[in-house]
């Protein structure tokens, strides 16, 4: 579109799932509401239990609390507005609201990429250097690694969001259920070539650097596990990182489906479905994975439940 056709935009319209029949939208609202509430409850429980139980005051669970915080943040940023578009047909979002949603989407996304790499490093130290683990992974190191995980998200989100929303817009209809960069970029009526290069390079760096760190950590972990003579020892060592490995796999499979799916097959509706796997489904799976596959978390949840009911003497 010509640059002279733009007008100042005060709000955007989220198309969301408006192309679907109202009955389907009502069903989606119910499904997403249940997922939203379970996600908030599950991740909140992980945080509270990890804080309350002294047995979970370790680096692994410190980083798990951070991961649960990210998943809660993702849901609060995206899902409430999506639910509003489904049940109340409240499809408008202010210019500032759209920019804020995009900013925190980028921030939490980058945070999660680097936090998963940090958690992989923690597992590497625990398995490959078990005798030095308490010295290497002391509380000061936890804090430094946590800050190193969330810090890259600030400049990435600030530059990309500020730059994108400084462009003139020729339209207001965002063909998505939240303000993601590609659908908002399509509304710009200016030369965005430089921005697109920055966005592509930034995405590759943010995704690939943590991914390479994770691969290096798990290469060393697998090599160390294979050297363990007993099958029981191998199983115990692998079980300490299996939950994290499963979460990493889900996270990067979701990213791959979104960012590396062939463009010729990517209709707007298919992109929305793929985005749901990353923004809605993955956050609910993380607490389930860590609860079902981790005996320490399961025991802590049971003890917390009995204490909350005043049944301390009945704790198994």
Q: What average pLDDT score do residues 2-31 get?
A: 80
- Domain region containing 258: 11-309
What are the strands of the beta sheet with 92-94, ordered from one edge?
Answer: 92-94, 11-14, 173-174
Q: What is the pTM of this model?
A: 0.87
pLDDT digits (tens, 9 = 90+) for 46-100: 888 888 878 778 888 899 899 999 999 989 999 999 999 888 878 899 999 999 9
Tell me which of 278 and 201 has the higher pLDDT.
201
Based on DSSP, count helices (H) and strands (E) in the chain, helices before strands.
12, 3
Phi, psi (degrees; rounded to nearest 5) at 12? -115, 165
Q: Is 173 helix (H, G, I), strand (E, B) or coil?
A: strand
What is the number of structural domains in the chain? 1
In a domain, residue 5? The reply is: no
Is 4 a member of any domain? no
Q: How far apart are CA 141 and CA 145, in angstroms?
A: 6
Residue 269 lies in a domain: yes
Residue 162: inside a domain: yes
Each residue's pLDDT tens digit, 120-161: 999 899 888 888 998 999 989 989 999 999 999 999 999 999
Residue 232 counted as domain residue: yes
Residue 314 included in any domain: no
Percentage of the chain with pLDDT > 90? 36
Contacts by residues 9-12 (CB-CB < 8 Å, ≥ 24 positions apart): 9/95, 9/169, 9/172, 10/94, 10/95, 11/92, 11/93, 11/94, 11/95, 11/98, 11/172, 12/92, 12/93, 12/94, 12/95, 12/98, 12/172, 12/173, 12/174, 12/179, 12/184, 12/187
Q: Decide if pLDDT at 283 tops 80.
A: yes
Whether 316 maps to a domain, the answer reads no
- CATH number of the domain residue 57 falls in: 1.20.1070.10
């Amino acid at each position: 579109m010509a640059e002279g056709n733009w007008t100042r935009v005060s709000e955007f319209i989220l198309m969301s799932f408006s192309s679907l029949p109202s009955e389907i939208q009502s069903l989606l609202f119910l499904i997403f509401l249940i997922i939203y509430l379970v996600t908030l409850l599950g991740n909140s429980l992980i945080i509270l239990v990890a804080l309350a139980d002294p047995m979970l005051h370790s680096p692994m669970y410190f980083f798990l609390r951070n991961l649960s915080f990210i998943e809660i943040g993702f849901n609060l940023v995206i899902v409430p507005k999506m639910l509003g578009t489904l049940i109340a047909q409240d499809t408008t979002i202010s210019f500032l609201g759209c920019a804020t949603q995009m900013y925190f989407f980028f921030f939490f996304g980058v945070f999660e990429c680097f936090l998963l790499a940090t958690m992989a490093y923690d597992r590497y130290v625990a398995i490959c250097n078990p005798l030095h683990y308490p010295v290497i992974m002391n509380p000061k190191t936890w804090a430094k690694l946590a800050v190193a995980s969330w810090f890259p998200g600030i400049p990435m989100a600030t530059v990309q969001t500020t730059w994108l929303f400084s462009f003139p817009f020729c339209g207001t209809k965002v063909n998505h259920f939240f303000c993601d960069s590609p659908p908002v970029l399509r509304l710009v009526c200016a030369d965005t070539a430089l921005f697109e290069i920055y966005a592509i390079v930034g995405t590759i760096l943010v995704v690939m650097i943590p991914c390479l760190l994770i691969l290096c950590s798990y290469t060393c972990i697998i090599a160390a596990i294979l050297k363990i003579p007993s099958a029981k020892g191998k199983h115990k060592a692998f079980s300490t990182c299996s939950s994290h490995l499963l979460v990493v796999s889900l996270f990067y499979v979701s990213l791959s489906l979104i960012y590396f799916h062939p463009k010729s097959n990517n209709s707007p509706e298919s992109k929305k479905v793929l985005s749901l796997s990353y923004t809605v489904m993955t956050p609910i799976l993380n607490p389930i994975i860590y609860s079902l596959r981790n005996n320490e978390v399961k025991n802590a949840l049971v003890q917390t439940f009995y204490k909350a009911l005043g049944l301390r003497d009945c704790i198994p």
